[in-house]
Structure 1
Protein backbone atom coordinates (compact mmCIF):
# COMPACT_ATOMS: atom_id res chain seq x y z
CA UNK A 1 0.00 0.00 0.00
CA UNK A 2 1.38 3.43 -0.82
CA UNK A 3 2.35 5.75 2.01
CA UNK A 4 -0.26 8.29 0.90
CA UNK A 5 -3.04 5.71 0.91
CA UNK A 6 -1.88 4.34 4.26
CA UNK A 7 -1.92 7.86 5.77
CA UNK A 8 -5.42 8.50 4.42
CA UNK A 9 -6.68 5.20 5.82
CA UNK A 10 -5.11 5.92 9.22
CA UNK A 11 -6.75 9.38 9.31
CA UNK A 12 -10.18 7.96 8.41
CA UNK A 13 -9.90 5.18 10.99
CA UNK A 14 -8.79 7.71 13.62
CA UNK A 15 -11.73 10.01 12.83
CA UNK A 16 -14.17 7.10 13.12
CA UNK A 17 -12.64 5.90 16.42
CA UNK A 18 -12.76 9.42 17.87
CA UNK A 19 -16.39 9.88 16.79
CA UNK A 20 -17.20 6.57 18.52
CA UNK A 21 -15.40 7.79 21.66
CA UNK A 22 -17.39 11.05 21.74
CA UNK A 23 -20.64 9.12 21.33
CA UNK A 24 -19.60 6.52 23.93
CA UNK A 25 -19.16 9.32 26.47
CA UNK A 26 -22.62 10.68 25.59
CA UNK A 27 -24.13 7.20 25.89
CA UNK A 28 -22.59 6.64 29.34
CA UNK A 29 -24.05 9.95 30.56
CA UNK A 30 -27.41 9.28 28.91
CA UNK A 31 -27.66 5.82 30.49
CA UNK A 32 -26.59 7.12 33.92
CA UNK A 33 -23.49 4.87 33.73
CA UNK A 34 -20.97 7.42 34.98
CA UNK A 35 -18.59 4.72 36.23
CA UNK A 36 -17.69 4.00 32.58
CA UNK A 37 -16.43 7.53 31.90
CA UNK A 38 -12.93 7.26 33.44
CA UNK A 39 -11.88 4.56 30.97
CA UNK A 40 -12.48 7.02 28.10
CA UNK A 41 -9.71 9.40 29.29
CA UNK A 42 -5.94 9.26 29.50
CA UNK A 43 -4.89 9.03 33.19
CA UNK A 44 -4.24 12.79 33.49
CA UNK A 45 -7.22 13.84 31.39
CA UNK A 46 -9.20 16.93 32.37
CA UNK A 47 -12.78 18.14 31.98
CA UNK A 48 -13.85 21.77 32.25
CA UNK A 49 -17.31 23.34 32.09
CA UNK A 50 -17.62 27.01 31.14
CA UNK A 51 -20.36 29.56 30.59
CA UNK A 52 -20.11 32.11 27.84
CA UNK A 53 -19.39 31.81 24.14
CA UNK A 54 -16.97 29.07 23.02
CA UNK A 55 -15.20 31.26 20.47
CA UNK A 56 -14.68 34.35 22.60
CA UNK A 57 -12.15 34.95 25.36
CA UNK A 58 -14.83 36.04 27.86
CA UNK A 59 -16.11 33.05 29.81
CA UNK A 60 -16.63 31.85 33.36
CA UNK A 61 -15.27 28.52 34.54
CA UNK A 62 -18.15 26.73 36.27
CA UNK A 63 -16.18 23.62 37.18
CA UNK A 64 -12.92 21.84 36.44
CA UNK A 65 -11.93 18.26 37.11
CA UNK A 66 -8.19 17.56 37.07
CA UNK A 67 -8.52 13.80 36.60
CA UNK A 68 -10.98 11.29 35.20
CA UNK A 69 -11.51 9.98 38.74
CA UNK A 70 -12.52 13.45 39.97
CA UNK A 71 -15.00 13.75 37.11
CA UNK A 72 -16.47 10.32 37.81
CA UNK A 73 -16.76 11.10 41.54
CA UNK A 74 -18.74 14.23 40.69
CA UNK A 75 -20.95 12.39 38.19
CA UNK A 76 -21.59 9.55 40.64
CA UNK A 77 -22.72 12.05 43.27
CA UNK A 78 -25.58 12.90 40.89
CA UNK A 79 -26.41 9.29 39.90
CA UNK A 80 -30.10 8.49 39.77
CA UNK A 81 -31.14 12.12 39.65
CA UNK A 82 -31.96 14.39 36.74
CA UNK A 83 -29.17 14.18 34.17
CA UNK A 84 -28.49 15.31 30.62
CA UNK A 85 -29.46 13.22 27.63
CA UNK A 86 -26.64 14.41 25.30
CA UNK A 87 -27.45 14.80 21.61
CA UNK A 88 -24.19 15.42 19.74
CA UNK A 89 -24.26 17.44 16.51
CA UNK A 90 -21.81 18.71 13.91
CA UNK A 91 -18.81 16.67 15.10
CA UNK A 92 -15.66 17.78 13.29
CA UNK A 93 -12.41 15.86 13.94
CA UNK A 94 -8.86 16.95 13.04
CA UNK A 95 -6.11 14.32 13.31
CA UNK A 96 -2.40 14.97 13.44
CA UNK A 97 -0.33 11.89 14.16
CA UNK A 98 -1.00 10.54 17.63
CA UNK A 99 -3.02 13.59 18.68
CA UNK A 100 -6.33 15.01 17.54
CA UNK A 101 -8.87 17.71 18.30
CA UNK A 102 -12.61 17.86 17.78
CA UNK A 103 -15.42 20.33 17.99
CA UNK A 104 -19.10 19.47 18.39
CA UNK A 105 -22.37 20.91 19.54
CA UNK A 106 -24.48 19.35 22.27
CA UNK A 107 -28.13 19.91 23.00
CA UNK A 108 -29.31 17.96 26.01
CA UNK A 109 -32.72 17.77 27.61
CA UNK A 110 -32.33 17.12 31.33
CA UNK A 111 -34.01 13.79 32.08
CA UNK A 112 -36.67 14.18 34.75
CA UNK A 113 -37.12 17.94 34.23
CA UNK A 114 -38.39 20.38 31.62
CA UNK A 115 -34.92 21.97 31.29
CA UNK A 116 -32.35 21.72 28.51
CA UNK A 117 -28.70 22.73 28.11
CA UNK A 118 -27.02 23.81 24.89
CA UNK A 119 -23.33 24.28 24.29
CA UNK A 120 -20.17 23.39 22.44
CA UNK A 121 -17.37 20.91 23.11
CA UNK A 122 -13.71 21.51 22.31
CA UNK A 123 -11.94 18.18 22.80
CA UNK A 124 -8.36 16.95 22.66
CA UNK A 125 -7.33 13.32 22.20
CA UNK A 126 -4.27 11.10 22.34
CA UNK A 127 -3.75 7.71 20.80
CA UNK A 128 -2.30 5.35 23.40
CA UNK A 129 -1.32 1.83 22.36
CA UNK A 130 -3.62 2.10 19.36
CA UNK A 131 -6.63 3.41 21.31
CA UNK A 132 -7.94 6.97 21.12
CA UNK A 133 -8.76 8.59 24.48
CA UNK A 134 -9.77 12.05 25.67
CA UNK A 135 -6.91 14.11 27.03
CA UNK A 136 -9.11 17.17 27.65
CA UNK A 137 -12.73 18.18 27.25
CA UNK A 138 -14.00 21.74 27.50
CA UNK A 139 -17.74 22.18 27.38
CA UNK A 140 -19.00 25.75 27.11
CA UNK A 141 -22.66 26.37 27.90
CA UNK A 142 -23.95 29.24 25.82
CA UNK A 143 -24.51 32.12 28.22
Structure 2
Protein backbone atom coordinates (compact mmCIF):
# COMPACT_ATOMS: atom_id res chain seq x y z
CA UNK A 1 0.00 0.00 0.00
CA UNK A 2 1.49 3.34 -1.02
CA UNK A 3 1.53 6.48 1.08
CA UNK A 4 -1.05 9.06 -0.05
CA UNK A 5 0.27 11.90 -2.18
CA UNK A 6 -0.65 14.55 0.41
CA UNK A 7 1.37 12.78 3.12
CA UNK A 8 4.38 12.41 0.81
CA UNK A 9 4.25 16.09 -0.15
CA UNK A 10 3.99 17.13 3.51
CA UNK A 11 7.06 15.02 4.35
CA UNK A 12 9.07 16.48 1.47
CA UNK A 13 8.06 20.04 2.35
CA UNK A 14 8.94 19.39 6.00
CA UNK A 15 12.36 17.97 5.09
CA UNK A 16 13.07 21.01 2.92
CA UNK A 17 11.93 23.46 5.64
CA UNK A 18 14.10 21.72 8.25
CA UNK A 19 17.12 21.74 5.92
CA UNK A 20 16.55 25.46 5.25
CA UNK A 21 16.41 26.08 9.02
CA UNK A 22 19.74 24.29 9.56
CA UNK A 23 21.33 26.39 6.81
CA UNK A 24 19.72 29.61 8.11
CA UNK A 25 21.38 29.01 11.49
CA UNK A 26 24.73 28.43 9.75
CA UNK A 27 24.27 31.62 7.71
CA UNK A 28 23.55 33.69 10.85
CA UNK A 29 26.75 32.36 12.46
CA UNK A 30 28.78 32.85 9.26
CA UNK A 31 27.59 36.45 8.93
CA UNK A 32 28.21 37.14 12.64
CA UNK A 33 24.51 37.91 13.19
CA UNK A 34 23.82 36.15 16.51
CA UNK A 35 20.75 38.29 17.17
CA UNK A 36 18.94 36.31 14.42
CA UNK A 37 19.44 32.94 16.13
CA UNK A 38 16.70 33.10 18.80
CA UNK A 39 13.91 33.29 16.21
CA UNK A 40 15.00 29.89 14.84
CA UNK A 41 14.14 28.09 18.11
CA UNK A 42 11.00 27.30 20.06
CA UNK A 43 10.99 29.53 23.19
CA UNK A 44 12.07 26.62 25.43
CA UNK A 45 14.68 25.34 22.97
CA UNK A 46 18.13 24.27 24.15
CA UNK A 47 21.63 24.18 22.66
CA UNK A 48 24.43 21.99 23.98
CA UNK A 49 28.07 21.70 22.92
CA UNK A 50 29.90 18.49 23.71
CA UNK A 51 33.39 17.11 23.23
CA UNK A 52 33.50 13.61 21.88
CA UNK A 53 34.61 11.17 19.24
CA UNK A 54 32.86 10.21 16.00
CA UNK A 55 32.55 6.51 16.82
CA UNK A 56 32.26 6.40 20.62
CA UNK A 57 29.25 7.10 22.83
CA UNK A 58 31.27 8.85 25.55
CA UNK A 59 31.24 12.64 25.64
CA UNK A 60 31.64 15.55 28.01
CA UNK A 61 29.43 18.64 28.05
CA UNK A 62 31.36 21.82 27.29
CA UNK A 63 28.45 24.25 27.51
CA UNK A 64 24.65 24.22 27.64
CA UNK A 65 22.18 27.01 26.99
CA UNK A 66 18.71 26.46 28.46
CA UNK A 67 16.97 28.97 26.18
CA UNK A 68 17.49 30.68 22.83
CA UNK A 69 17.95 33.99 24.65
CA UNK A 70 20.78 32.50 26.74
CA UNK A 71 22.46 31.24 23.56
CA UNK A 72 22.13 34.64 21.87
CA UNK A 73 23.46 36.42 24.98
CA UNK A 74 26.57 34.24 24.81
CA UNK A 75 27.00 34.65 21.03
CA UNK A 76 26.65 38.43 21.27
CA UNK A 77 29.66 38.55 23.63
CA UNK A 78 31.71 36.99 20.80
CA UNK A 79 30.37 39.32 18.08
CA UNK A 80 33.04 40.99 15.99
CA UNK A 81 35.72 38.48 16.97
CA UNK A 82 36.92 35.30 15.32
CA UNK A 83 33.93 33.09 14.57
CA UNK A 84 33.15 29.85 12.76
CA UNK A 85 32.23 29.77 9.09
CA UNK A 86 29.97 26.67 9.23
CA UNK A 87 30.04 24.29 6.27
CA UNK A 88 27.20 21.78 6.70
CA UNK A 89 27.62 18.30 5.17
CA UNK A 90 25.63 15.07 4.95
CA UNK A 91 22.38 16.54 6.30
CA UNK A 92 19.86 13.75 6.91
CA UNK A 93 16.31 14.69 8.01
CA UNK A 94 13.65 12.36 9.44
CA UNK A 95 10.08 13.65 9.81
CA UNK A 96 7.28 12.23 11.91
CA UNK A 97 4.20 14.44 11.95
CA UNK A 98 5.00 17.78 13.58
CA UNK A 99 8.36 16.61 14.90
CA UNK A 100 11.62 15.93 13.10
CA UNK A 101 15.23 15.04 13.77
CA UNK A 102 18.33 15.70 11.72
CA UNK A 103 21.94 14.68 11.73
CA UNK A 104 24.70 16.55 9.94
CA UNK A 105 28.42 17.12 9.95
CA UNK A 106 30.00 20.54 10.26
CA UNK A 107 33.47 21.64 9.33
CA UNK A 108 34.12 25.28 10.17
CA UNK A 109 37.24 27.34 9.68
CA UNK A 110 37.41 30.00 12.39
CA UNK A 111 37.44 33.33 10.56
CA UNK A 112 40.38 35.47 11.62
CA UNK A 113 42.49 32.49 12.78
CA UNK A 114 44.23 29.44 11.37
CA UNK A 115 41.99 27.13 13.44
CA UNK A 116 39.11 24.90 12.39
CA UNK A 117 36.40 23.02 14.27
CA UNK A 118 34.88 19.74 13.09
CA UNK A 119 31.97 17.83 14.54
CA UNK A 120 28.44 16.50 14.32
CA UNK A 121 25.00 17.97 14.96
CA UNK A 122 22.05 16.02 16.38
CA UNK A 123 19.02 18.27 16.08
CA UNK A 124 15.36 18.06 17.04
CA UNK A 125 12.60 20.20 15.57
CA UNK A 126 8.94 21.03 16.10
CA UNK A 127 6.42 22.47 13.69
CA UNK A 128 4.47 25.23 15.43
CA UNK A 129 1.76 27.18 13.66
CA UNK A 130 3.07 25.80 10.36
CA UNK A 131 6.69 26.87 10.99
CA UNK A 132 9.57 24.50 11.70
CA UNK A 133 11.86 25.51 14.59
CA UNK A 134 14.72 23.96 16.52
CA UNK A 135 13.67 22.42 19.81
CA UNK A 136 17.16 21.11 20.62
CA UNK A 137 20.61 21.30 19.06
CA UNK A 138 23.50 19.18 20.22
CA UNK A 139 26.86 19.80 18.60
CA UNK A 140 29.65 17.35 19.39
CA UNK A 141 33.12 18.71 18.66
CA UNK A 142 35.55 16.00 17.61
CA UNK A 143 38.96 16.36 19.25
Shorter-chain TM-score bucket reads over 0.9
* Aligned counterpart, 1:113: 113
Q: Deviations over 1:64-87 (max 9, x none)?
A: 000000000000000000000000
For 1:20-35, what aligned pairs fall within 5 Å after superposition? 20-35=20-35
Question: What's the offset of the Cα at 1:3?
Answer: 6.8
> Which residue of structure 2 lines up, in the alignment, with residue 71 of structure 1?
71
5+ residue gaps, structure 2, are: none
Per the normalisation by structure 2, the TM-score is 0.96
Partner of 2:6: 6
Matched position secondary structure for 1:56: coil
Matches of residues 24-63 of structure 1 in structure 2 within 5 Å? 24-53=24-53, 56-63=56-63
Q: What is aligned with 1:104?
A: 104
Aligned length in residues: 142
Structure 1 residue ranges (4+ consecutive) displaced by more than 4 angstroms after TM superposition: none
CA distance in 2, matches of 1:117, 1:4: 42
**Counterpart Cα distance in 1 of 2:84 and 2:3:** 43
Unaligned runs of 5+ in 1: none
Give TM-score scaled by structure 1 length: 0.96
1:7/1:39 CA distance change after superposition, 3 Å: same
Q: Distance in 2 between matches of 1:55 and 1:44?
A: 30
